[in-house]
Amino acid sequence: MPSDRLAVPVLLACASLAAAAAMPAFAAPPSTETVWVFFTDRPRAGAQVSLEDTVLTSRAIARREVRRALPGLVDAHDLPVEPAYVAAVRSFGAEPRVESRWLNAVSVEVPRSALRSIARLPFVRGVQPVRAATSIAPAAETAPAPSDGVAATDYGLTAPQLGQIDLLSLHARGFRGAGVVIGVLDSGFNRVHEAFHSAEHPLNVLAEYDFINDDPNTGIEEGDDPNQHRHGTWILGTLAAYLPGQAVGAAYEASFVLAKTEDVPTETPIEEDFYVAGLEFIEAQGADLATSSLGYFDWYVASDFDGETAVTTTAVNIATANGLVCLTANGNGGHDEDPSTLALGAPADAFEVISCGATDDTGTIAGFSSDGPSFDGRVKPELLARGVGVVTVHSTNETGLAGVNGTSLSTPLVAGAVACILGARPDFTVSSLREALFANATDSVAGIAPDPLFVRGYGLVQADATASFGRASADLSLDGTVGGADLAIVLGAWGACGECATCFADLTGDCQVDGQDLAVVLGAWQ
Ligand SMILES: [Ca+2]
Ligand SMILES: [Ca+2]
Ligand SMILES: [Ca+2]
Ligand SMILES: [Ca+2]
């Protein structure tokens, strides 16, 4: 369980000396450093923490009521960092970047000469460098490959990648993400593409924040690197595009909370603190799930990926305890046949995160897909989706599609499936959802999961089977009973099926909905 005590507040002096020693002799060490300052306590926290002390939206409270795994709705992690502590740190010339309620810490840009004094403050528990992220980024976008002839013509080139994870069937049932809020942490989001502006399903952004520039616009702005928004735009397109006949996102009826947390082009890519701030924002805004395609490798060694060391991992543990479903890319570091070696990055090692690997269109694992397990031996990655030639929107044009590779791209496909599943099954908690996802993934169904080599996890996610898990087959509406809603579905679908594969009201498998299917529903009536 999350606690105020992090496992590794490495005192900065060691890390600083190591960094200085690694520098070429002719380079003067930088005079400032970006560090986390962790505090010992929250003096204003009484015995009871009340909702009024927090920044939670009513949507976040509603989600916690359903899915929080801890007693009550709030705890000390929801309280702000003590302002007097931050002021004291500032008095040494430190410039605050991020205040983290969950970590009870502040990240600051600080003169190197002040580090020891700050570390000696009586209410400072530890100081450690803010770690760098490596974007799990594909190299380039290419023209998408032609469709392999999968039906569902409305889905255009995205039909294969959605059909592979059993998502077209769930869409056909009417679960396409409506009523579900997806938080996306990424590099920024260019929303000019026509697929975000359809009359029927325009992109719906409930809230957004740019943590890098400290402003509420996550789009392209003056001074941004031309590549800053590519990665995030691809991810958003995979989830939210709606361009019938060309490309349709995995959860195109969902709403979104966007957090720009990854600074692509800087020479000192330091954004671990922005990730934590972005995740706290997404949770407080009431998202149901959060997805990220970033990985933190630098500074960490394999033994750090134990679920309780990296600060992003700690933040994800707190998020999932609060009922926020979290998904993350496992990484593009490749895999081998040695189960004792691992290539994942934080926060894929978090205890209840869903870490995602990548396959090609046939379900064969992609060469770049990182293996697990976590250092303490848990299954990672857990789920797979296509990550080779994933079709999404072009990142800069207003029209045109792109084919992109990476676990970055398989992750939003899994996330979109999860959003549609949650739309059908609001009763799932983080842990019961994980159980259902893993039990219904392809390799589990085939009886070969979890993969003992920690490359494939439980296999390809299967959306419709997961949403139907524990439901009677005649419960077509997936609401837990067989009754009028299911009868209405059968009558509404009466006749020959348009497409057999997604004709979910055909309970007898003859590609038509008729009296036999009606009899099945009536026979199971509750
Ligand atoms: Ca901005
Ligand atoms: Ca290995
Ligand atoms: Ca029903
Ligand atoms: Ca039938």
Asked if residue 76 lies in contact with residue 42, where contact means CB atoms within 8 angstroms, the answer is yes
Distance CA(195)–CA(198), nearest Å, equals 6
191-to-201, 202, 248, 259, 395 alpha-carbon distances in Å: 14, 11, 15, 14, 9
Distance CA(519)–CA(487), nearest Å, equals 10
**Res. 293: pLDDT tops 90:** no
CA of residue 502 to ligand 4 center, whole Å: 12
In sequence order, what DSSP letters do the residues of 102-139 get, joined into one string?
TTTEEEEEEEGGGHHHHHTSTTEEEEEEPPBPEE---S
CA of residue 465 to ligand 2 center, whole Å: 30
Using alpha carbons, select from 313, 310, 308, 307 the residue that is nearest to residue 299: 310
Give percent helix, percent strand, percent coil of the chain, each to the nearest 5. Answer: 30, 20, 50
Least confident range of 23-37, 376-390, 401-415: 23-37
**Res. 268: pLDDT tops 60:** no
Among all bound ligands, the one having the nearest atom to the CA of 519 is: 4
Q: What is the pLDDT of residues 198-230, one digit of tens each?
A: 999 999 999 999 999 999 999 988 888 888 899
Among all bound ligands, the one having the nearest atom to the CA of 493 is: 4
Among all bound ligands, the one having the nearest atom to the CA of 261 is: 1
CA of residue 303 to ligand 2 center, whole Å: 14
Amino acid letter, residue 371: D
* Predicted pLDDT of residue 395: 92
CA of residue 510 to ligand 4 center, whole Å: 5
* Predicted pLDDT of residue 410: 98
- Residue 193 pLDDT level (bands cut at 50, 70, 90): very high
Average pLDDT over residues 106-120: 97
Q: What is the crossing angle of helices 515-523 and 484-492, to 10°?
A: 170
CA of residue 421 to ligand 4 center, whole Å: 24
Q: Is 343 helix (H, G, I), strand (E, B) or coil?
A: coil
Average pLDDT over residues 174-193: 96
Please give all residues whose CB falls under 5 A of ion ligand 3, grouped by chain where several chains appear.
475, 477, 479, 485-486
**Res. 150: pLDDT tops 60:** no
Amino acid letter, residue 5: R
Quick one: what percent of the chain has pLDDT higher than 90? Answer: 80
Residues 6+ apart with CB under 8 A from 318: 2, 77, 102
* Predicted pLDDT of residue 246: 96
Q: Which residues share a beta bridge with 248?
A: 242
* Predicted pLDDT of residue 433: 98
**Res. 21: pLDDT tops 90:** no
CA of residue 327 to ligand 3 center, whole Å: 29
**Res. 46: pLDDT tops 90:** no
**Res. 298: pLDDT tops 90:** no
Among all bound ligands, the one having the nearest atom to the CA of 451 is: 2
DSSP class of 22: T
Residues 6+ apart with CB under 8 A from 385: 161, 164, 165, 356, 358, 359, 410, 411, 413, 414, 417, 460, 461
Neighbouring C-alpha atoms within 13 Å toward the C-beta of 381: 37
Q: Is 460 helix (H, G, I), strand (E, B) or coil?
A: strand
**Res. 13: pLDDT tops 90:** no
Residues 6+ apart with CB under 8 A from 418: 289, 325, 327, 354, 433, 437, 461
- Residue 391 pLDDT level (bands cut at 50, 70, 90): very high
CA of residue 484 to ligand 3 center, whole Å: 7
In sequence order, what DSSP letters do the residues of 56-90 get, joined into one string?
--HHHHHHHHHH--SSSS--GGGSPPPHHHHHHHH
Least confident range of 81-95, 234-248, 266-280: 266-280
CA of residue 251 to ligand 4 center, whole Å: 28
Average pLDDT over residues 192-202: 97
* Predicted pLDDT of residue 152: 61
**Res. 422: pLDDT tops 50:** yes
Average pLDDT over residues 389-399: 95
User: What is the sign, positive or negative, of the torsion defined by CA atoms of 391, 285, 75, 275?
Assistant: positive
Among all bound ligands, the one having the nearest atom to the CA of 336 is: 2
For the beta carbon of residue 204, count every other beta carbon within 10 angstroms. 14
**Res. 76: pLDDT tops 50:** yes
Q: Which of 267-281, 290-304, 441-455 has the highest mean pLDDT?
A: 441-455
CA of residue 405 to ligand 2 center, whole Å: 21
Least confident range of 6-15, 251-260, 270-279, 295-304: 6-15
CA of residue 338 to ligand 2 center, whole Å: 4
CA of residue 498 to ligand 3 center, whole Å: 22
* Predicted pLDDT of residue 174: 96
**Res. 329: pLDDT tops 70:** yes
CA of residue 372 to ligand 2 center, whole Å: 6
CA of residue 517 to ligand 4 center, whole Å: 5
**Res. 99: pLDDT tops 50:** yes
**Res. 493: pLDDT tops 70:** yes
Q: Where does residue 239 rank: exposed (0-12), middle (13-18), buried (19+ CB within 10 A)?
A: buried
CA of residue 294 to ligand 2 center, whole Å: 20
- The token pair at 29 is 């060490």
- The token pair at 122 is 């009586």
CA of residue 347 to ligand 2 center, whole Å: 18
* Predicted pLDDT of residue 222: 85
- Decide which of 168 and 142 is more confident: 168
**Res. 93: pLDDT tops 50:** yes
Q: Where does residue 487 rank: exposed (0-12), middle (13-18), buried (19+ CB within 10 A)?
A: middle
- Residue 140 pLDDT level (bands cut at 50, 70, 90): low
- Residue 44 pLDDT level (bands cut at 50, 70, 90): confident
Among all bound ligands, the one having the nearest atom to the CA of 518 is: 4
**Res. 2: pLDDT tops 70:** no
Among all bound ligands, the one having the nearest atom to the CA of 219 is: 1
Taking the CA atoms of residue 98, residue 183, residue 227 and residue 192 in that order, the dihedral angle to the nearest 10 degrees is -130
Sheet holding 105-111, edge to edge: 95-100, 105-111, 32-39, 124-129
Radius of gyration of the chain (CA): 24
Give φ, ψ of 202 to 5 degrees. -70, 150
Using alpha carbons, select from 415, 492, 404 the residue that is nearest to residue 165: 415
With residue 386 as reference, give the H or E element that holds it: strand 383-386
Average pLDDT over residues 24-42: 79
**Res. 1: pLDDT tops 60:** no
Distance CA(407)–CA(142), nearest Å, equals 16
CA of residue 283 to ligand 4 center, whole Å: 43
Q: Which residues share a beta bridge with 401?
A: 393
DSSP class of 145: P
Rama region for 166: left / alpha / beta (φ>0; ψ in -120 to 50; rest) = left
Least confident range of 122-136, 142-156, 390-404: 142-156
Q: Where does residue 78 rank: exposed (0-12), middle (13-18), buried (19+ CB within 10 A)?
A: buried
Beta strands in 187-271 (DSSP E): 204-210, 242-243, 247-248, 255-260
Residues 6+ apart with CB under 8 A from 201: 242, 252, 253
- Residue 134 pLDDT level (bands cut at 50, 70, 90): low
Among all bound ligands, the one having the nearest atom to the CA of 370 is: 2
Q: What is the mean pLDDT of the chain?
A: 90
Among all bound ligands, the one having the nearest atom to the CA of 468 is: 3
* Predicted pLDDT of residue 285: 98
* Predicted pLDDT of residue 47: 64
